[in-house]
A and B are shown apart, each in its own frame.
Chain A
């Protein structure tokens, strides 16, 4: 809204108000700070409401184990959602189709997670909530809708990019036609679940999500920038006016706002956590990340940029489906992978910080793919 107000008041970019609509970097900075401030303001004030209504983490036994995480409020993801959404609405160009799709995927995923959290709290069962099938179904719906939107006339992509998939290390996109829709659906489901599995320790999902948004922000800035996209030969077609990802820079604001909200949340979520993000937070982040990855056609960068998430999901799939389900033995000591490290005796802060370091290294590696194509 601030974007539109500034544009309305200063259409010729003559006054300082031009900063509010003409410069992506300025708006991104503001969105970051605003989202962080909102979360930092809201969280300590709403914390007691969560406790009063019993929206807290529950263990299976009656007794409190002094080393357990029982009694810590959940659904802190609500703050990330509110902080992020307010920043999107204030600083984004609300007529931009990239923003519409990102909002759709994130809001839907958030409410799926919220429903899951509320059911778990109602039943007093941490393993309860929406069934696995139910979650997959809703995620498939979100993915399918995003896929159809990207393929249709309504897509923010130009005609020549619709129905295509971009492969790693190859400059030209591959034409797959309608297959793009199920591909997008699977990618959305994969990324949403991967982020959800990583949310198992204090700050474990928060730090890598921050770094993934940072990487995506850099990608969307470059892809949406005429000079940079030409420099990196990123889907730059000289017969078109500038870059084919024209206007995708608006996603920088979304990434920056999400980073700000995550930083505000990490203030309270770092070990020992005052609050957990819960499924509403992890699914919201997963849905939002997934939509940005598919809109920027950087799905294949996810295994690098979101390495930790892939590691967590892969360890669960290998352990549960292949090991426990099929072979009748464990492959890892425990799964997801952070539980494996914990079982080996690593302390929680050490695992979390090392995962952050690993994610930072993978971010650097992902940025290399900008040039190595």
Chain B
């Protein structure tokens, strides 16, 4: 069975496997097939709709289509159009996978984002609905925000409920510092209100670290 045929199977597990396989090869045909999957907005069966899945191409398929698009050339598929649609997807993993793929291409292929897409990403950074989406959106800060905007945003993120969101902001700041986009004093001013609570605490098991070090040495010797 060809991948195209597999994409038309009734069982979603088979279609999902096909979508994953499409990501293995970088080709315009595969990118086209993935685009069709993401454009497919046929409704799901009534019982699935009732239980929360709106589309025939179920959440995992839409999410994995975005993960597969990460390996495709962004010139071979309408990135902007698909991203605009997926950032309104009712399933959070589709939005976060879309943002991760978009970010990947932004860094690797130097694509440019339209103002409307930027606006949608900014909305995802600020929205507190789902922390996984925010985590995927925050790295865009280093690309789409001006210095003043970051200062405004920091004041909001510092109050984020999830420490991982606050942590993602710090990571984005690292990238900004690396690029030399902000001065040391400016970054320090942003960090001042951060509450470094013990949620950040991670224990260090020295015994395990020493054993890991020994394992590494043995691996290198063998």
Q: State whether these chains interact.
A: yes
Chain A residues in the interface with B (C-beta under 8 A): 62-68, 71, 272, 322, 324, 326-331, 333, 344-347
Q: Are the C-beta atoms of A328 and B16 separated by less than 8 Å?
A: yes
Q: How far is the CB of A350 from chain B (nearest CB, A)?
A: 8
* A270 smallest CB distance to B (angstroms): 13
B53-61, B105-113, B183-191: which one contacts chain A? B53-61
Contacts of B205 in A (CB 8 A): 66-67, 272
Could you write out 12 A-B pairs with CB less than 8 Å apart? A63-B219, A64-B212, A64-B215, A65-B208, A65-B212, A326-B51, A327-B51, A327-B58, A328-B13, A329-B52, A333-B132, A345-B199
Which residues of chain B from 1 to 27 have a CB within 8 Å of any chain A CB?
A: 12-13, 16
- Are B164's CB and A345's CB within 8 A? yes
- Complex-state Cα separation, A344 to B199, whole angstroms: 11
How far, in whole Å, are A62 and B163 apart by their CA atoms in the complex? 31
Query: Is A330 within 8 A of B59, CB to CB?
Result: yes
Q: Is B46 an interface residue (CB 8 A)?
A: no
User: Contact at A62–B215, with CB atoms within 8 Å?
Assistant: yes
Q: Which 3 A-B pairs have the closest CB atoms?
A: A328-B58, A329-B59, A66-B208
Chain B residues with Cβ below 8 Å from A324 are 60
A56 to B91, CA, bound (A): 39
Complex CA–CA separation, A272 to B206 (angstroms): 13
Q: Point out the residue from A64, A331, A345 that lies within 8 Å of B163, measured CB to CB.
A: A345
Q: Does B209 contact A (CB under 8 A)?
A: yes
The binding surface of chain B is classed by DSSP as helix
B192 beta carbon closer than 8 Å to chain A: no
> Which residues of B are at the interface with A, using a C-beta cutoff of 8 A?
12-13, 16, 48, 51-53, 58-61, 91, 93, 131-132, 162-164, 199, 201-205, 208-209, 211-212, 215-216, 219
Residue in contact with A327 in the complex, picked from B48, B199, B209, CB distance below 8 Å: B48
Shortest CB–CB separation between residue B70 and chain A, in angstroms? 20
In whole Å, how far is B14's beta carbon from the nearest beta carbon of chain A? 11
Given A322-B51, A327-B51, check contact A67 B59 (CB 8 Å).
no
**Contacts A66-B205, A322-B51, A347-B201: A328 and B12 contacting too (C-beta < 8 A)?**
yes
A347 and B197 CA atoms in complex are apart in Å by: 12
Provide the residues of chain B in CB contact with A331, threshold 8 Å: 52
Shortest A295–chain B CB gap in Å is: 38
Q: How far apart are the CA atoms of A71 and B214 in the complex, in Å?
A: 15
Instruction: State A324–B12 Cα separation when bound (angstroms).
Output: 11
Contacts of B212 on A, CB cut-off 8 Å? 63-66
B204 and A66 contacting across the interface, CB-CB below 8 Å? yes
State the Cβ distance, A55 to closest chain B Cβ, in Å. 18
A59 to chain B, nearest CB (A): 12
Give chain A residues whose Cβ lies under 8 Å from the Cβ of B209: 66
A329 CB contacts on chain B under 8 angstroms: 52-53, 58-60, 91, 93
B131 near A344 with CB under 8 A, answer yes
**Which residues of B are found within 8 Å of A326, using beta-carbon distances?**
48, 51
Q: Are A63 and B48 in contact (CB under 8 A)?
A: no
What are the residues of chain B within 8 A of A64 when measuring CB–CB?
A: 208, 211-212, 215
Bound complex: CA of A330 vs CA of B90, how far in Å? 12
Task: Select which of A63, A272, A330 is within 8 A of B215 by beta carbon.
Answer: A63
Given contacts A67-B203, A272-B203, 10 further A-B contacts (CB under 8 A): A64-B208, A66-B205, A68-B208, A71-B211, A324-B60, A328-B13, A328-B61, A329-B60, A344-B131, A344-B162
Name the residue of chain A whose CB is nearest to the CB of B211: A64
Question: When chains A and B are docked, how far (Å) is the Cα of A133 from the Cα of B16?
Answer: 26
Q: Give A65 to B202 CA distance when docked, in angstroms.
A: 14
Shortest beta-carbon distance, A244 to chain B, in Å?
44
Chain A residues with Cβ under 8 A from B211's Cβ? 64, 71
A62 CA to B220 CA, complexed, in Å: 13
A68 to chain B, nearest CB (A): 7
Give every chain A residue within 8 A of B48 (Cβ-Cβ): 326-327
In chain B, what residue has the closest Cβ to A68?
B208
Task: Give the complex CA separation of A298 and B70 in angstroms.
Answer: 54
- In the bound complex, residues from chain A placing their C-beta under 8 Å from that of B60 are 324, 328-329
Residues of B within 8 Å of A71, CB to CB, are 208, 211
| B195 CB, nearest partner CB in chain A, Å | 14
Contacts of B12 in A (CB 8 A): 328
* Contact partners of B61 in chain A: CB under 8 A: 328
A67:B202 contact, CB within 8 angstroms: yes
- B15 CB to nearest chain A CB (Å): 9
Among residues of B, the one whose C-beta sits closest to the C-beta of A70 is: B208
- Chain A residues with CB under 8 A of B162: 344-345
Please measure, in the bound complex, the distance between the C-alpha atom of A67 and the C-alpha atom of B201, giving whole angstroms. Answer: 12
CA separation between A328 and B55, bound complex, in Å? 10
B201:A327 contact, CB within 8 angstroms: no
Q: In this complex, which of A65, A66, A272 has the most chain B Cβ atoms within 10 angstroms of its Cβ?
A: A66
In-complex Cβ contact of A328 among B53, B132, B215 (8 A): B53
Closest to B212 in A: A64
Which residues of chain B are near A68, meaning CB under 8 Å? 208
Residues of A within 8 A of B163 (CB): 345
